Structure 1
């Protein structure tokens, strides 16, 4: 046996030597050992559904990437494509907060694999739900002479769900409506969006109700006159001089059928007693059912009150106006009263502006013959004041005069 093995030993050694030389040639020249790097390989997050069942969710939208180094024969390395490198990050078993989670990498083909980084920082956040009020944002406008009523939303409250920080950032749940010269009432279903304080949509939260039913009444506008419903009693010796309402016309809104028969609108009842000074009062309007004021719900009523005063003026004999004295007769002046007292009862503003010199006493002697006659004098005040004076009294109310023939 030994002889058999020793036979051709030299030839065998030479063959082994050349085989090693050939292998070394192939490995170093034809299929050498090489290293290849792949950059920005995405890391897949797995078991997100598992942590969601425990009330957790990944905060933000992390997209970790790694650098992978492959080492092996050139043919092995070159057969591995970028898509065959599987990097994953298992979220199972981690808790709320910031977690450093190891990255797992699988590559086919039996090559050596190294990657960096080995860990990824992932923040897990608690999932919460919160109820938010729905608001509507309307772009455009109603047709001329019409106005939009208050929007009615169903539902008016909806639930949102998501990571706590994102849910807290939601300021409102918004529905948007675009109009152009709208004249008819509107009923539509609109999609909902959760937005933050800057009006940006928060995509990380779920709005449980995907849409909202919106009804908007389109009211007609109409200008109508305002009537005062006032019951005013003044204190003794006071009088209402004027009542002014401002504005005298208001614009109301309502459905066209309701407004067609309305041309005037009254204020609510206002009762004032023992009034002794001027007043400026806000009085609300009494709107029929289904009608309301456009831009204003009340008017201003200005009540001007003045005190009634009594003043006595004296007119001397030489100021009397003698009328219709016959040319054949002479009036005996001494029979006329030396003075007359004129008592005027009027508003304070009238009394203050009455000039005593404008008060005239007339003595009418028309168709009288010679003799003694009983005369009732006539008092005349300035024409612009006569209608404003309550009462006028003269003393004496009558007197006797003597007419004698002219010589």
Structure 2
């Protein structure tokens, strides 16, 4: 049996070496060892829940991917896709500050790998939870006549959670409410925004309540006429020439519905029946309940003049008969020889009014009170308040 193996030993040895080298050749040429690299392979941190259990958080959030280079036979590597790769690391005993973790990759044993970088540094911060008040900030107040009177909102505070360095940077929580085109009371849902002392939004913190519900109430301002509330008539022998208020309008402010219903406002009542001279009087303004005004009182200046009467006697012969279209005999009239004319004027005016300043006439085209009965009319060349003629009528033909 042993002789069989010893036969042609040289040839068999050569054949064995030849077969071995042929296998080496085939493996090198047909299925060579190659390198293959993959970018942006995700890193999975195992046991990350331990952070929450210990009131910790990763901040800033790390770049959880790395580059992987695989080395192995082509036949093996061609079966591996990028999605099949996942780098692992383990957060065993985290501490506040920088934690350095080694990276690992699960691949078949006949494949080697290189991870770049081979480890990552994770910064761990204390996670804190604190309560902050909410402030409402209104923007775009376009209607100058409207003013925010009251703001009711709920909730008025909420909790902020996150890395200590970020939470401590939150100065306050604000909600912006846009008032553009608003003309009446309204309610709105407003997002809660964490901001720092410079008013910039702080990113990376969690707000327990995302929104607050806001009710906005307005007051409205309007300028309206101020009216003098007069009572009685000025006494006989006097004339009210006029009056002037030192403010003809008043600016009022109140609830929109009330303001819209008010068209004017009166002063307190003043009786002018005893007014006999120029006078300045301060009067309160009757402001409706729950309404504010820019002024509470007003000064009124009255201008009063005394009336003076003067009796004149004018001959009836001076009466001019105009447009005698019926050809009546004007010589036949019932007038006395003299006609009494009482002229009333303002004191200081008209003192020099005389008979020659008064023209009396009859317009015979006017509609008659009775047949042949005409009203006696007048013209006065100077300024007077009134003229009374006695008799008032003339009858032609009697």
With normalisation by structure 1, the TM-score equals 0.55
* Corresponding residue number in structure 1 for 2:84: 84
Residues 56, 289 of structure 1: alpha-carbon distance in 2 compared, 3 angstrom cutoff: farther
Q: Alpha-carbon deviation of 1:260?
A: 4.2
* Corresponding residue number in structure 2 for 1:257: 258
Indicate whether 1:155 and 2:163 are aligned. no
* Corresponding residue number in structure 2 for 1:187: 187
Q: Alpha-carbon deviation of 1:2?
A: 1.6
For each residue in 1:326-376, what CA deviation from the matched residue of structure 2 results, as whole angstroms up to 9, or x when unmatched? xxxxxxxxxxxxxxxxxxxxxxxxxxxxxxxxxxxxxxxxxxxxxxxxxxx
Within a 5 Å distance, the mapping from 1:186-335 to structure 2 comes to 186-223=186-223, 249-257=250-258, 260=261, 290-291=290-291
Residues 49, 183 of structure 1: alpha-carbon distance in 2 compared, 3 angstrom cutoff: same
Indicate whether 1:166 and 2:150 are aligned. no
Residues 113, 56 of structure 1: alpha-carbon distance in 2 compared, 3 angstrom cutoff: same
Residues 258, 63 of structure 1: alpha-carbon distance in 2 compared, 3 angstrom cutoff: same
Residues 168, 187 of structure 1: alpha-carbon distance in 2 compared, 3 angstrom cutoff: same
Residues 209, 247 of structure 1: alpha-carbon distance in 2 compared, 3 angstrom cutoff: farther
Distance 2:216 2:120 in 1: 52
Are the counterparts in 1 of residues 151 and 216 from structure 2 also a CA contact under 8 Å? yes
Distance 2:138 2:38 in 1: 52
Residues 162, 252 of structure 1: alpha-carbon distance in 2 compared, 3 angstrom cutoff: same
Distance 1:198 1:150 in 2: 26
Distance 1:9 1:286 in 2: 136
Residues 55, 225 of structure 1: alpha-carbon distance in 2 compared, 3 angstrom cutoff: farther
Q: Alpha-carbon deviation of 1:263?
A: 6.4
Distance 1:286 1:4 in 2: 139
Distance 1:265 1:202 in 2: 55
Are the counterparts in 2 of residues 222 and 253 from structure 1 also a CA contact under 8 Å? no
Are the counterparts in 1 of residues 265 and 287 from structure 2 also a CA contact under 8 Å? no
* Corresponding residue number in structure 2 for 1:62: 62
Distance 1:163 1:130 in 2: 11
Distance 1:98 1:287 in 2: 70
Q: Alpha-carbon deviation of 1:169?
A: 1.6
Distance 2:248 2:127 in 1: 57
Pairs aligned (count)? 265
With normalisation by structure 2, the TM-score equals 0.56
Residues 299, 207 of structure 1: alpha-carbon distance in 2 compared, 3 angstrom cutoff: farther
Within a 5 Å distance, the mapping from 1:41-52 to structure 2 comes to 41-52=41-52
Residues 180, 4 of structure 1: alpha-carbon distance in 2 compared, 3 angstrom cutoff: same
Q: Alpha-carbon deviation of 1:163?
A: 0.8
For each residue in 1:205-234, what CA deviation from the matched residue of structure 2 results, as whole angstroms up to 9, or x when unmatched? 1111121110001222134799xxxxxxxx
Q: Alpha-carbon deviation of 1:86?
A: 1.5
Residues 286, 19 of structure 1: alpha-carbon distance in 2 compared, 3 angstrom cutoff: farther
Are the counterparts in 1 of residues 222 and 259 from structure 2 also a CA contact under 8 Å? no
Residues 177, 78 of structure 1: alpha-carbon distance in 2 compared, 3 angstrom cutoff: same
Distance 1:289 1:112 in 2: 89
Residues 185, 299 of structure 1: alpha-carbon distance in 2 compared, 3 angstrom cutoff: same
Residues 69, 142 of structure 1: alpha-carbon distance in 2 compared, 3 angstrom cutoff: closer
Q: Alpha-carbon deviation of 1:108?
A: 4.0
For each residue in 1:1-47, what CA deviation from the matched residue of structure 2 results, as whole angstroms up to 9, or x when unmatched? 32232234344323322221211111221212222333443323333
Q: Alpha-carbon deviation of 1:197?
A: 4.0
Distance 1:210 1:87 in 2: 36
Distance 2:111 2:52 in 1: 36
Residues 143, 218 of structure 1: alpha-carbon distance in 2 compared, 3 angstrom cutoff: same
Unmatched runs of 5 consecutive residues or more in structure 2: 227-245, 268-284, 299-398
